[in-house]
Amino acid sequence: MSKKKVIYIAGSMTNEKEFNHPAFFAKAAELEAKGWVVLNPATLPVFLRQEQYMDICCAMLRAATYVCMLDGWEKSEGATAEYALAKKLGHSIYNEQMKLMLPLEYKLVPVAA
């Protein structure tokens, strides 16, 4: 049996319309059609607290080897934390167009409180 590639989808959710779920589910469907095993945080139940989501999402990210950063992730405090963790873990990080991101290609921008 061949080993499947496991990828986590990261992106902005908290302040997005419909929590950005349509973008997460569309990307998950695209990746699954290409044979990826997808860990999609949009499948989590709604109305948990931010720290609960981050706890679960960080565990999902640690279970993956690859990460796909959806467009606009830089404006999300949670997604920037996931990006930093993925970098620290040595994961391969891709942008939404599935192009490999270079570590210095993106600057983390402060999120307004």
Whether 112 is in a domain gets the answer no
Domain harbouring 18, CATH code:
3.40.50.10400
How high is the pLDDT of residue 46? 87
Whether 105 is in a domain gets the answer no
Whether 43 is in a domain gets the answer yes
Whether 111 is in a domain gets the answer no
Whether 76 is in a domain gets the answer yes
Q: Rounded mean pLDDT of 11-25?
A: 91
Each residue's pLDDT tens digit, 78-103: 999 999 999 999 999 999 999 888 65
Each residue's pLDDT tens digit, 64-83: 999 999 999 999 999 999 99
Cα-Cα end-to-end distance for the chain: 48
Statement: residue 105 has pLDDT above 70: no
Whether 66 is in a domain gets the answer yes
Domains held by the chain: number: 1
CA distances from 18 to 12, 95, 97 (A): 11, 21, 22
Whether 26 is in a domain gets the answer yes
Provide the residue range defining the domain that includes 20.
Answer: 6-95
- Cβ contacts of 33 within 8 Å, gap of 6 or more: none
CA distances from 75 to 2, 11, 19, 23, 29 (A): 37, 9, 14, 16, 24
How high is the pLDDT of residue 16? 80
Each residue's pLDDT tens digit, 21-66: 999 999 999 999 999 999 999 999 988 999 999 999 999 999 999 9
